[in-house]
Structure 1
Amino acid sequence: MGDSSFLSLPAMQTSPQSIVFTDWDGTVTLEDSNDFLTDNLGYGVERRKWLNQQVLEGKWTFRDSFMDMLQSINTPLPECIAYLKQHVKLDPGFLAFYTWCKSHNIPVIIVSSGMTPIIRALLEDLVGMDAALDIQIVSNDVAIDDAGKWKIVYRDDSPFGHDKSLAIKPYANLDPAVRPTLFYCGDGVSDLSAARETDLLFAKKGRDLVTYCERENIAYNVFDSFADIHKRVKAIVEDNSLTLEQAVAQKEIL
């Protein structure tokens, strides 16, 4: 692969040996901001959970179900963000993990089906401006009309609205001589497109991504918090006490 292709990938600028891709809502944060808005400012939890099940069963696309959820929210976007800042909390292990990654030249990339203005505002609030500027966000956008009504602007035309695999594949397809080890962390139905794309998948315990991986026979490591992910990634890339192959075969993080 030529230098131009290599250098066009932002996370490759420092020639890292590993890259961590992660979902945002319900993974880096304890609460899913979009679910939280739907449950409290939209049509509520019952239909939202029903739609998640429809996506898992292949009866609705994530794109259509997510649009359905967001259209039930009539609160202006600035008020939504202020509301989320009051309620959304950071996974207690994320900041320490990010700091360790930063010190070991391991880029952390947020790949989200959420919306950049919301993620950016919460990230600045939860981890600080320096970290927020350092962490690349690949997500959907928002359009606001003259009346203040907002709607999601999907990143692509896929059934996901944002096919997360498209953000990962350029790194996965690099020449083996320069290709980093790729990790992905996720929890829900928005992560289905990314589940097969990295070398090691972390799926949050008790969430829909675990259900999907079990059904589709996709290897994963189950985690409760980023402290678990930190422990396993460190064992692989720094301590050399665990090979990638061993990690893939060991679902539970001890």
Structure 2
Amino acid sequence: MLVAPQVKAMLFTDWDGTVTIQDSNDYMTDNLGYGEKRRKELNKAVLDGSMTFRDSFSDMLQSVKKPFPECIEYLKEHIELDPGFADFYKWSVESGIPVVIVSSGMKPIIHALLAKLVGQKAADTIEIVANDVDVHEDGTWDIVYRDESGFGHDKSRCIKPFAELPDESRPMLFYAGDGVSDLSAAKETDLLFAKVGRDLITYCEREAIPYHVFHSYKDIHEKIKAIVAGEETIESAIENKNKAAAQETLASHHSSH
């Protein structure tokens, strides 16, 4: 991953359900696979720790029998862009703030949807760090995971090199997400944007991870713009700071005994 040195800030963002309204993998599972009820049972199992994200995701995708090219066309017909993303992306380019898509989905699907929803230039410019896919001659397909982790793609790994840069060259790091695939990245950046009413907030509340709630990318745009301009601080953007601070105090208290 190459990023111009000395950028002021970077946004790492989940794709499905964050940049898009619908989660394309959930959408395929619900409509072309074994349906919403079973999928939600597996999501719950990931949240409570009884199943890895990787195993639940493989199980979901294996229930989709449509050939891969048809899956892409089906998703292009049904998946919509978050109404605030195009404006945010335009501003980020003008402001020299890199946007990196970090997804547990599959790169060919994301690239195809980006081209349709934002434009070919964005699809060719935005860095996509995601799983791949192996399409067989008969049209059947399998997901190819990025790594050996229980996530299949441990999103924290592509953020850590930036988080570990020396202070003078380290940009402000933001992350936006909504669900169980974002759990590994939730603690890695300076400010986490978590989508209202989704599983990521449930997790952040349980683990006392600081976050700022967003309804659409318009909220993320306004908040990052204000922070980069120095009109607001990362600290002031955290919405559950009392709970997070209390948890941190408790943790340090325990570790000192």
TM-score (norm 2): 0.92
Where has structure 1 moved over 6 Å in runs of 4 or more?
none
Cross-structure match for 2:94: 103
Match of 2:61 among 54, 60, 70: 70
Are 2:119 and 1:128 equivalent residues in the alignment? yes
Cross-structure match for 2:80: 89
Task: Measure the CA separation in 2 of the matches of 1:250 and 1:90.
Answer: 28
Any conservation in 2 of the 1:110–1:136 contact (CA below 8 Å)?
yes
- The correspondence of residues 133-172 of structure 1 with structure 2, limited to 5 A, is 133-172=124-163
Any conservation in 1 of the 2:15–2:102 contact (CA below 8 Å)?
yes
Cross-structure match for 2:247: none
The amino acid of 1:10's aligned partner reads: L
Kindly provide the CA deviation profile for residues 145-178 of structure 1, in whole angstroms up to 9, marking residues without a partner as x.
2222101000000000000000100110111110
Any conservation in 2 of the 1:140–1:162 contact (CA below 8 Å)?
yes
Q: CA deviation at 1:133?
A: 1.2
Match of 1:224 among 197, 210, 215: 215
Any conservation in 2 of the 1:25–1:32 contact (CA below 8 Å)?
yes
Cross-structure match for 1:247: 237
Runs of 5+ consecutive residues of structure 1 not aligned to the other structure: 1-8
What is the alpha-carbon root mean square deviation over aligned residues? 1.0
Match of 2:43 among 34, 39, 52: 52
Task: Measure the CA separation in 2 of the matches of 1:116 and 1:93.
Answer: 22
Match of 2:2 among 1, 10, 23: 10
The amino acid of 2:89's aligned partner reads: Y
Task: Measure the CA separation in 1 of the matches of 2:236 and 2:18.
Answer: 24
Task: Measure the CA separation in 2 of the matches of 1:79 and 1:147.
Answer: 12
Kindly provide the CA deviation profile for residues 215-252 of structure 1, in whole angstroms up to 9, marking residues without a partner as x.
000000000000000110011002x211122123577x
Any conservation in 2 of the 1:14–1:105 contact (CA below 8 Å)?
no
Q: Which moved more, 1:185-194 or 1:141-150?
A: 141-150
How many pairs were matched up?
Answer: 241
The amino acid of 1:211's aligned partner reads: T
Task: Measure the CA separation in 2 of the matches of 1:149 and 1:105.
Answer: 41
Task: Measure the CA separation in 2 of the matches of 1:51 and 1:79.
Answer: 25
Task: Measure the CA separation in 1 of the matches of 2:137 and 2:217.
Answer: 41
Runs of 5+ consecutive residues of structure 2 not aligned to the other structure: 242-257
The amino acid of 2:2's aligned partner reads: P
Any conservation in 1 of the 2:115–2:123 contact (CA below 8 Å)?
yes
Task: Measure the CA separation in 2 of the matches of 1:138 and 1:38.
Answer: 22
Match of 1:121, SS?
A: helix
Match of 1:29 among 13, 17, 20: 20
Match of 1:203 among 180, 194, 205: 194
Any conservation in 1 of the 2:213–2:239 contact (CA below 8 Å)?
no
Any conservation in 1 of the 2:156–2:184 contact (CA below 8 Å)?
yes
TM-score (norm 1): 0.93
Task: Measure the CA separation in 1 of the matches of 2:187 and 2:49.
Answer: 17
- Percent identical pairs in the alignment equals 62
Any conservation in 2 of the 1:183–1:198 contact (CA below 8 Å)?
yes
Any conservation in 1 of the 2:210–2:240 contact (CA below 8 Å)?
no
